[in-house]
Structure 1
Amino acid sequence: MAQLKITLVKSTIGAKKDQIATAHSLGLTKIGDSSIQPDNAQTRGKVAKIIHLIEVSNA
């Protein structure tokens, strides 16, 4: 199964509460944090919600 590496590159300060919650659900709390997530519809939806804060690549 494909994996995505998601890295937080911008601060969540000033972001909406639901965007902050989405980042935390992906395991991203501080700038530079990375997590490996499965490439599925749920993860893609979360990525789309906070794409302006993160960087996504194949793991």
Structure 2
Amino acid sequence: MSELKVTLVKSSIGQCEKMKGRLLGMGLTKREKTVTLKDTPEVRGMIAKVAHLVRVEE
């Protein structure tokens, strides 16, 4: 299964609690932090909800 590199490019300050929870669920706690996640439909859904805050690389 392929993997995705997800980087938090904008802070979660001022975002609603659901978006902060999605970022924490992906392991993104600080700005410019990069995590490697498996490419699953669940992860893709979380990325879609916070797409304006993250950068994704295949």
TM-score, structure 1 length as denominator? 0.95
| CA distance, structure 2, for counterparts of residue 33 and residue 24 of structure 1 | 12
Q: Which runs of 4+ in 1 moved over 4 A?
A: none
Quote the RMSD (CA, aligned, Å). 0.5
| CA distance, structure 1, for counterparts of residue 48 and residue 18 of structure 2 | 13
Instruction: Please say if 1:57 is aligned against 2:57.
Output: yes
Instruction: Please say if 1:22 is aligned against 2:22.
Output: yes
TM-score, structure 2 length as denominator? 0.97
Any idea what SS the aligned residue of 1:5 has?
strand
Structure 2: give runs of 5+ residues left out of the alignment: none
- 1:33 partner amino acid: K
Structure 1: give runs of 5+ residues left out of the alignment: none
